[in-house]
A and B are shown apart, each in its own frame.
Chain A
Amino acid sequence: MNTTYLYLLVFAILVGSTDIEVNIVALYPSASAGVAMLFGTIALSYGVIVSILLGLAGMKALLIALFYQHLKYEPKSLSSWVLIGLVIASLLMSLVFIQLHVH
């Protein structure tokens, strides 16, 4: 595939998932008791929506890293410094979470 089209495709997915993110906010239980959808009213719990939002953000980040930063075409080792950074940052967050919320 021509790289230009590939980049445009990635861009389309990025914009599309941003659109989903913005609209999913309407499903928060507090706003109204759910939203009328095709199959009736659904209300997702706060935790589920947050997970979906962060999942989408993670996917968008991955797409940008793989294609725009072309990690997909680089030696795997190149991403190691960033990956180690992510692991250490998530260790920080997990231990802080335990500190704040587990006694």
Chain B
Amino acid sequence: MSQDIFPPRVRRWLFTTNHKEVGILYLVTALFFFVAAGLLAVTMRTQLSVPDNHVLTETLYNQFVTVHGLLMIFWVLSPFAFGFANYIIPLQIGARDLAFPRLNAMSYWFYLFSGVAIIMSFIFGAPDLGWTLYSPQTAFQFAPSIGLNVGAAALILITVSITMSSVNFLVTMFKMRAPGMKLRNMPVFPWAILVTIFMMLYAFPSFLAAVLLLYVDRAFGTFYFSSLQGGALLWDNVFWFFGHPEVYIVLFPAIGLIADVIPTFSRRPLYGSKYVIGSMIAAAVISFIVWGHHMFVTGIGLTSTKLYTVTTIAVSLPFDVMVIAMIETLTKARVKLKAAALFALGAIALFVIGGITGVYLASVALDHALRGTYFVVAHFHYIMVGGSIMGLIAGLYYWFPKFTGRMYNETVAKIHFIVSFIGFNILYFPMFLLLDMPRRIQTYAPDTGWGSLNSLATFGGFIFGGAQVLLFVNIFLSQRRGPPSGPNPWDGWTLEWSLPSPPPAHDFDKIPSIAEDGTYHFGTSAGLPHGAGYPNGSKIGDGYLHSHFEGLSPWPIVVAFAAFIFFLGLTIGQPSSPTTPVTFQPFWPLILDGAILGVIVLYGYSREKFSVHEESHVESWPFREVPNVKLGIWTFLGAEVIFFGVLIGAYFFVRTNSPIWPEVGSLFDIRNGFAMTLVLLTSSLTAIMALVSAKVGSRNGLIVSLIATFGLGISFLYIKATEWVYLGSHGVFSVAYGLPATSYFITTGTHGVHVFAGMLMTLYLLVNTLKGRYLKGDHQAIEHFGLYWHFVDIVWVFLFPLFYLI
């Protein structure tokens, strides 16, 4: 693909794989969505300012409420934080980039296109049922708008983006720390990101599964969420199982950077840093068993609600430790109240209020009154805006000089803080007092008495929103005209401050190392000649220097674009019947375009020579002997475990919830399942024989094994297809067979897609084998394919008894 059609500056931003540039892209995009979602919020506040107001129609209000929530949670908070993470984490741990730079760029482009999709949904009638997308209102009969489908496409794309990021960051942080940068030596910000991606890795697959079930229900008329045995509670479970960790996912990066900012500006080390880190890990683990508190009033029974009350109240303890540690840091300190410090301390104060009111909501007794009211709105805005956004703004001021090499205007920044802080409290505190007012209502009657508090909140909203103009003006003007900042304006001590501002493309001239006594050494390990920056005429793949630091790759953006087209095609469709729309027809031309483009560009992506140098003398406990790619694949399989776990969990849910189920052998022919099991087990054998052949250098053995694996994959899909056709033609979509067929088609269908993907990989491997690769010790690709293929086999090993034999 020719890159010369774009001017160099445009080309650089479109094709960059450098972690710092990707970080800036993330930050700018997240701030753009922040403004977009903020404008939605200001419009809603205007609508609510007085009773019986009609600035917005109810439909539009509901759309704004939904898209505001989705945008802020998925497209602002996490990407804002991951802009910092992209830029700063490699610098703080002493790495030259992320483990997989192109994958990182691809994560960004998936994120951008998913954002385009969610904004596009307004064209088709945006989702209007709250960001929680409660079932069964998402069923086609209640929500015939195509906008919800486009929203689903956006959510799938951003989930893919986040999963790729999680794998990338986990491998980077475990495998690429500078010598001596042991885990316990990492600053708190990388630790917070590490804990965040841990939660992302396991929470987002659940969300992907949930959205997938939703999409298939809407597109193909399956019954998961429209049936009584699945329905509302199934969605509640799979959604909130993701949703509660998500709350901490958007919070922890801010906590981590606050825990680095406060010590820097109070000139003392963080109090009890190991307890802070331990608390983060504890909270992350507990976050996976508290989701039921979002379901207190669904009637799930006293045992469950009490259990979730205890776990939820218990999760406040680790946060307690974090907050106390930050406050104790100030003792005998020298607190410099720069803008970053003000925002960090302000964020802690607001977070304390958000946390304390969270304990109210953890109590099942109080939740019966407070659920669905403005008390909840106030609580989580104190956490997400007060804690997260204010904390992230602290990060923006803190690292601005590092990003740009220039100082911002301190006075304007301080005014920005004071106005924001006051505006914030006028905006959100009245909502605690509106504990009778339902959230997500477009208007209210004058006799409710809610008018004055709402007017106050709207007034605060304008102050808070207006204050952000100061932020944008300040950073926009300062990055052009601000005085030079020098490398370390705050006298900070983490590694990024040892570099020039902004750092050179390759970050470190010489990878630093940390001695046993905790001192840094620059230049003990082999490095680059000083001053290696942006060589002229850099090309892709011509050697270590260029590929690693100058790497421009056109593929990440086009792969993301292909996926965007593909999912848009899947979701923009026509209702199957204009009068009673039960399902809709996907838009096949777009799907086909996306698929064909996708295959072509993925081929280009994998053929591109893009070598990433793995430093040999790095800290990599506990994965010392594991190559990066292999660790990445195993990390990805960890996410896959949750994805299939949730699909099987959904089956388990409707199965044990259904009074009757077809007898074994009556719906699904055991002989079919048996045959497919044998075929897939055999393909695992041929896959491992491919690896054996590659290792001993047997070209014919490798070719035969790969062809056999491919052929067995085809056989598997063929038997599957005949079974599907048979079942489809025998009326399994009748109500009696609704859920058995639904769970079967979705679960085995998803598995079938995995088999198909594996077969594409064997074709790719076959082409390369014919070109003579993999036989001279470079068999890693064969091994990595095998790891995936065997995993798909293992999934089937469970699906076979679950569907055919039980």
B631 surroundings in chain A (CB, below 8 A): 78
Q: Which of B301, B653, B797, B801 contacts A64 (CB 8 A)?
A: B797
Complex CA distance for A79 and B806, rounded to whole angstroms: 29
Closest A residue to B305 by CB, please name it: A99
Which of these binds chain A: B143-151, B319-327, B621-629?
B621-629
B664 surroundings in chain A (CB, below 8 A): 25, 28, 31
A61 surroundings in chain B (CB, below 8 A): 794, 797-798
Complex CA distance for A57 and B332, rounded to whole angstroms: 61
A92 and B241 within 8 A (CB): yes
B302 and A103 within 8 A (CB): yes
Complex CA distance for A4 and B793, rounded to whole angstroms: 19
A15 surroundings in chain B (CB, below 8 A): 678, 681
CB distance from B70 to the nearest CB of A (A): 24
Closest A residue to B295 by CB, please name it: A99
Q: Which of B635, B645, B786, B805 contacts A92 (CB 8 A)?
A: B645
Q: Which residues of A from 38 to 73 have beta carbons under 8 Å from B?
A: 50, 53-54, 56-57, 60-61, 64-65, 67-69
Which of these binds chain A: B475-483, B491-499, B581-589, B686-694?
B686-694
A54 surroundings in chain B (CB, below 8 A): 798, 801
With an 8 A cutoff between CB atoms, is B790 at the interface?
Answer: yes
B500 surroundings in chain A (CB, below 8 A): none
Interface string of A1-28 (1 = CB under 8 A from B): 0011001100100110010011011001
A67 surroundings in chain B (CB, below 8 A): 688
Interface string of B656-699 (1 = CB under 8 A from A): 11000001110000100010011001101101110010000000
B624 surroundings in chain A (CB, below 8 A): 75
A75 and B623 within 8 A (CB): yes
With an 8 A cutoff between CB atoms, is A37 at the interface?
Answer: no
CB distance from B109 to the nearest CB of A (A): 25
A96 surroundings in chain B (CB, below 8 A): 237, 649, 652-653
Closest A residue to B303 by CB, please name it: A102
CB distance from B203 to the nearest CB of A (A): 9
CB distance from A48 to the nearest CB of B (A): 12
B411 surroundings in chain A (CB, below 8 A): none
B687 and A85 within 8 A (CB): no
With an 8 A cutoff between CB atoms, is A33 at the interface?
Answer: no
A81 and B307 within 8 A (CB): no
Q: Which of A3, A75, A88, A102 contacts B202 (CB 8 A)?
A: A88
With an 8 A cutoff between CB atoms, is B800 at the interface?
Answer: yes
A7 surroundings in chain B (CB, below 8 A): 685, 688-689, 692
Q: Which of A56, A98, A100, A102 contacts B801 (CB 8 A)?
A: A56
Instruction: Kindly name the residue among A8, A25, A75, A88 whose own CB sees the greatest number of chain B CB atoms within 10 A.
Output: A88
Q: Which of B289, B634, B688, B806 contacts A53 (CB 8 A)?
A: B806
Q: Which of B237, B626, B684, B801 contacts A68 (CB 8 A)?
A: B684
A98 and B645 within 8 A (CB): no
Complex CA distance for A95 and B670, rounded to whole angstroms: 31
B302 surroundings in chain A (CB, below 8 A): 103
Complex CA distance for A64 and B685, rounded to whole angstroms: 10
B665 and A25 within 8 A (CB): yes
With an 8 A cutoff between CB atoms, is B300 at the interface?
Answer: yes
Q: Which of A22, A30, A75, A80 contacts B670 (CB 8 A)?
A: A22
Closest A residue to B793 by CB, please name it: A64
Complex CA distance for A28 and B641, rounded to whole angstroms: 30
A64 and B684 within 8 A (CB): yes
Tell whether A69 pairs with B301 under 8 Å between CB atoms, given A74-B626, A81-B635: no
With an 8 A cutoff between CB atoms, is B601 at the interface?
Answer: no
CB distance from A62 to the nearest CB of B (A): 9
A81 surroundings in chain B (CB, below 8 A): 170, 201, 634-635, 637-638
Complex CA distance for A21 and B787, rounded to whole angstroms: 25
B637 and A82 within 8 A (CB): yes
A90 surroundings in chain B (CB, below 8 A): 645
CB distance from B183 to the nearest CB of A (A): 13
With an 8 A cutoff between CB atoms, is A84 at the interface?
Answer: yes
B798 surroundings in chain A (CB, below 8 A): 54, 57, 61
B652 surroundings in chain A (CB, below 8 A): 93, 96-97
A98 and B304 within 8 A (CB): yes
Q: Which of A60, A77, A99 contacts B292 (CB 8 A)?
A: A99
Q: Which of B642, B790, B801 contacts A89 (CB 8 A)?
A: B642
CB distance from A79 to the nearest CB of B (A): 7
A21 and B684 within 8 A (CB): no
Closest B residue to A94 by CB, please name it: B289
A14 and B681 within 8 A (CB): yes
Interface string of B628-654 (1 = CB under 8 A from A): 001100110111111001100100110
Q: Which of B663, B665, B678, B689 contacts A4 (CB 8 A)?
A: B689
Complex CA distance for A11 and B686, rounded to whole angstroms: 10
B786 surroundings in chain A (CB, below 8 A): 68-69
A28 surroundings in chain B (CB, below 8 A): 664
Tell whether A69 pairs with B790 under 8 Å between CB atoms, given A81-B638, A85-B638, A93-B652: yes
Q: Which of B201, B304, B630, B674 contacts A18 (CB 8 A)?
A: B674
Tell whether A100 pairs with B681 under 8 Å between CB atoms, given A68-B786, A82-B641, A92-B241: no
B622 and A75 within 8 A (CB): yes
With an 8 A cutoff between CB atoms, is B549 at the interface?
Answer: no
B380 surroundings in chain A (CB, below 8 A): none
CB distance from A43 to the nearest CB of B (A): 15
Q: Which residues of B from 194 to 226 have beta carbons under 8 Å from A?
A: 201-202, 206
With an 8 A cutoff between CB atoms, is B26 at the interface?
Answer: no
CB distance from A76 to the nearest CB of B (A): 8
A25 surroundings in chain B (CB, below 8 A): 664-665, 670, 805
Closest A residue to B202 by CB, please name it: A88
A14 surroundings in chain B (CB, below 8 A): 681, 684
A22 and B303 within 8 A (CB): no
30 residue pairs of the A-B complex, CB under 8 angstroms, read A7-B689, A11-B682, A15-B678, A18-B674, A18-B678, A22-B805, A24-B805, A25-B664, A25-B665, A30-B663, A31-B664, A53-B806, A57-B800, A61-B794, A65-B794, A69-B790, A75-B626, A77-B622, A78-B631, A78-B634, A79-B634, A81-B634, A85-B637, A85-B641, A89-B641, A89-B642, A92-B237, A92-B288, A95-B292, A99-B300
The 5 closest A-B pairs by CB, nearest first: A89-B645, A81-B638, A85-B641, A103-B301, A77-B622
Report which A residues bind B (CB closer than 8 A). 3-4, 7-8, 11, 14-15, 18, 21-22, 24-25, 28, 30-31, 50, 53-54, 56-57, 60-61, 64-65, 67-69, 74-75, 77-82, 84-86, 88-93, 95-103
Report which B residues bind A (CB closer than 8 A). 170, 201-202, 206, 233, 237, 241, 288-289, 292, 300-304, 307, 622-626, 630-631, 634-635, 637-642, 645-646, 649, 652-653, 656-657, 663-665, 670, 674, 677-678, 681-682, 684-685, 687-689, 692, 786-787, 790-791, 793-794, 797-798, 800-801, 805-806
New A-B contacts (8) at CB < 8 Å, excluding given A75-B624, A77-B626, A85-B641: A22-B670, A53-B805, A68-B684, A85-B637, A85-B640, A96-B653, A102-B301, A103-B302
